[in-house]
Amino acid sequence: MTTVTLEAQLRTETGKGAARALRRSGFVPGVIYGHGEESRSCKIDAQELEKLLTSVPYESTVINLKVDGAKTPQQVLIREVQIHPYRSQVLHIDFLALHKGEKVRLDIPIRLLGAAPGVKEGGVMEHLRHEVEVRTLPSDIPESLSVDVSHLMVGDQVTVADIVVPADVEILEEPTTAIAQVVPPTVHKVEEPEEEEVLEAEEEEGEEAEEPEVVGRGKPSEEEEEAAEEEG
C-alpha cells in the first residue's frame, strides 16, 4: 500500500461564488465523506495537490489527510477529480474517508509482464483493459496488478483470470474479460482500378498525344505560299 500526506483546511463557505474565490486564491475546493459520516467541505493548496496527482497513481493511493493541522491524519482515497475542460486546472476533488476493517472498492492499474513471442513474429500487442475494479481492505490496496504475456503467440490473449492477485484482494470483474491480446499485423490492400477508370485514363492519354490545334494563325507569308506551291 502506498501512502502520502496532504494538508487540508475545513471551510464553511459553499456555492459557486465561494468556489471561484477559492480557486483565485490558489486553493481547490473539496469534500470529505464516508460511510456513516457527515460530509465536510475543505480546501487544499492547488500546487500541493497538483504535485500529488502527477507523482503517484492517486486512484489507488491512500492519503493521510491532515485536516486543520490535526496530529492524527484522516486516511482517505481520492474518489473524483474534476478538471477544467481546456485548462490543466483542478476544479474540485472528492475524498472518501477510510475506516479500519471496512473494505473499499477501487480501480487498480494492470501491468503487462514479459515479451510476447507473437510480437517478435510480427504480431501487434493490444492492451485492452488498463485497470480492474477490486474490493479489499485499505491496508491491502496494491499499487498495481500484473499479468504475464510472455507466452502469447499471434491470436492468443490473457483474461482477468490470468491476473496475479494477492490473497486479500478480490477482483470484481468477469474472469473471461480480455486484458490483452496479440493480433496479426494489419495489411493494407491495394485496390485495382475499375475498368471504367482505366478506359477514361487511356482516353485522356490519347487526347494529350494528339497534335494541338493552332488557333488564330495569321495570313501566310509570300515565302510560305511559294513553298506550298513547290510542294504541290
The DSSP string of the chain is --EEEEEEEE----SHHHHHHHHHTTEEEEEEE-TT---EEEEEEHHHHHHHHHHS-GGG-EEEEEETT-SSPEEEEEEEEEE-SSSS-EEEEEEEEP-TT--EEEEEEEEEES--HHHHTT-EEEE--SEEEEEE-GGG--S-EEEE-TT--TT-EEEGGGSB--TT-EE-S-TT-EEEEEEPPP--PPPPPPHHHHHHHHHHHHHHHSPPPP-S--PPPHHHHHHHHHH-
pLDDT at position 103: 93
Instruction: Give the CATH architecture of domain 3-99.
Output: Beta Barrel (2.40)
State the pTM of this model. Answer: 0.68
Q: 105-183 — its CATH code? A: 2.170.120.20
Res 222 pLDDT > 80: no
Res 188 pLDDT > 90: no
Tens digits of residue pLDDT in 148-160: 999 999 999 999 9
pLDDT at position 107: 92
Q: Where are the domains of the chain?
A: 3-99, 105-183
Q: What is the mean pLDDT of residues 198-202?
A: 57
pLDDT at position 214: 44
